């Protein structure tokens, strides 16, 4: 199949932006005193096309898949942890499960290519392309057809979800390697700068991981286009996320981007459709080496910096209350006029 990239139009609307800014400036507070919360409120108003934005039925989707490169020792954990953690998500015991419950986020887990067969149950979508990608050092992690099917799956998943906000999560032993490879190739950075401890490797193991990833880059030295790189370096969960992000952006949903892996999916989309960045709120800067470089390449400013490197969507869930607060300020906070509060006088402004 050939995947058709949906249109992601420019959201720039100077009239709406001016109205939103005027509304924020005239709230009962010193000008700009809510700092980055005001910029977030403005962005959410623009995405949702409203001076009174409201986030409805938020969807946390955790995309899971296994990686052929894991067999080369790039992770501190065996591949079986992928399916075991999927079971943990579904049982409600994982960090993202706890945070999703706390913040009222609907949680869906997608088997994009886990090396395990799951019993059907609520909250699980099986969209398995294959039981894990191939070894990117030996050839492409996935075929073009597999990549396109994964992206189409992501698109269809989002089409079937209610609400106007998508929070991205992922699970896959070896997926920091895929994200590092995508960053190195699409941003033109040295692989050593893009590679971190992942699940908790020591310095010697990180050095071995860099050697493996360098081998994968050399194996695909002729690959430079974003979708070709996605197929070469893989991640069925990343490719499915790419499709989900494209569809969410097309539908003008707010996209809350978690850490390094989720950002790598946005990195691919941004290379295809730069306007996607207008719809993305980056939850946090993770402790994974390479994420700061990826955010800088994307020109993204994350909301939080807590040293997280768990994945799962945990950072997106933690940032979620800030989005709710930003919308509430726009909708509910009084203006100087409506509250009968005096504004700063002209001579005070001059002084």
Q: What are the tens digits of pLDDT across the range 97-113?
A: 999 999 999 999 999 99
Distances (CA, A) of 104 to 59, 86, 156, 198: 9, 20, 23, 29
What per-residue confidence (pLDDT) applies to 344?
78
Dump pLDDT digits (tens) for 299-350.
999 999 999 999 999 999 999 999 999 999 999 999 999 999 998 765 555 4
Tokens of 263: 């950002």
The answer to whether residue 56 scores a pLDDT higher than 70 is yes
HSE-CB at 142 with a 13 A cutoff on CA atoms is: 33
Please give the domain boundaries of the chain with CATH numbers for all domains.
14-54+328-350 (1.10.1610.10), 59-317 (3.40.50.10210)
Asked if 114 and 83 touch (Cβ cutoff 8 Å), the reply is yes
**Residues above pLDDT 70, as percent of the chain:** 98
Q: What secondary structure does DSSP assign to 79-117, as a single string? A: THHHHHHHHHHHHT-SHHHHHHHHHT-EEEEEEEE-SSP
Kindly state the average pLDDT of the residues 6-21.
97
Q: pLDDT at position 351, please?
A: 42
**What are the tens digits of pLDDT across the range 199-242?**
899 999 999 999 999 999 999 999 999 999 999 999 999 999 99
**What pLDDT is attached to residue 343?**
86
| pLDDT at res. 1 | 72
Average pLDDT of the residues of the chain:
96
Burial class (CB in 10 A: 0-12, 13-18, 19+), 49: exposed
Q: Can you tell me the distance from the alpha carbon of 269 to that of 277, in angstroms, rounded to the nearest whole number?
A: 9
Give residue 348's pLDDT.
55
Does the pLDDT at position 7 exceed 60? Answer: yes
Q: Helix, strand, coil % (nearest 5) of the chain? A: 50, 10, 40
The answer to whether 119 and 87 are in contact (CB under 8 A) is: no
Contact indicator for 290, 195 with CB cutoff of 8 Å = yes
The pLDDT-based confidence of 2 (bands split at 50, 70, 90) is confident
pTM, two decimal places: 0.96
Q: How far is CA 110 from CA 58, 157, 161, 183, in A?
A: 16, 9, 13, 24
pLDDT band at 91 (very low <50, low <70, confident <90, very high): very high
The per-residue pLDDT for 346 is 59
Cite the active site residues. Answer: 312
Measure the CA–CA gap between 237 and 261, rounded to whole angstroms. 9
pLDDT of residue 144: 98
Say if residue 171 is exposed, middle or buried (CB neighbours under 10 Å; 0-12, 13-18, 19+): buried
């Amino acid at each position: 199949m050939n995947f058709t990239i949906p249109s992601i139009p420019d959201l720039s609307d100077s009239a709406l932006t001016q109205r939103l800014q005027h509304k924020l400036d005239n709230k009962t507070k010193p000008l700009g005193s809510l700092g980055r919360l005001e910029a977030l409120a403005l962005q959410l108003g623009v995405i949702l096309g409203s001076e009174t934005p409201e986030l409805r039925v938020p969807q946390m989707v955790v995309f899971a898949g296994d990686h052929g490169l894991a067999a080369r020792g790039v992770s501190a954990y065996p591949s079986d942890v992928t399916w075991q953690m999927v079971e943990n998500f579904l049982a409600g015991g994982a960090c993202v499960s706890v945070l999703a419950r706390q913040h009222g986020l609907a949680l869906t887990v997608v088997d994009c290519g886990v090396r395990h067969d799951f019993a059907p149950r609520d909250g699980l979508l099986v969209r398995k392309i294959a039981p894990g990608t191939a070894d990117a050092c030996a050839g492409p992690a996935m075929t073009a057809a597999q990549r396109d099917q994964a992206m189409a799956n992501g698109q269809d998943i989002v089409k079937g979800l209610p609400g106007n906000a998508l929070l991205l999560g992922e699970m896959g032993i070896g997926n920091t390697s895929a994200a590092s490879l995508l960053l190195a190739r699409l941003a033109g950075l040295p692989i050593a700068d893009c590679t971190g401890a992942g699940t908790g490797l020591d310095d010697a193991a990180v050095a071995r991981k860099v050697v493996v990833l360098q081998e994968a880059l050399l194996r695909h030295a002729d690959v430079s286009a974003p979708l070709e790189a996605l197929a070469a370096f893989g991640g069925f969960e990343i490719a499915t996320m790419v499709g989900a992000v494209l569809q969410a952006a097309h539908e003008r949903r707010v996209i809350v981007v978690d850490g390094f892996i989720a950002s790598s999916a946005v990195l691919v989309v941004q290379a295809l459709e730069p306007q996607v960045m207008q719809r993305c709120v980056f939850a946090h800067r993770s402790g994974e080496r390479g994420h700061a470089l990826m955010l800088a390449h994307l020109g993204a400013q994350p909301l939080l910096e807590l040293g997280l490197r768990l994945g799962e969507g945990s950072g997106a869930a933690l940032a979620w209350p800030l989005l709710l607060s930003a919308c509430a300020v726009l909708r509910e906070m009084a203006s100087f006029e409506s509250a009968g509060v005096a504004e700063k006088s002209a001579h005070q402004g001059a002084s």
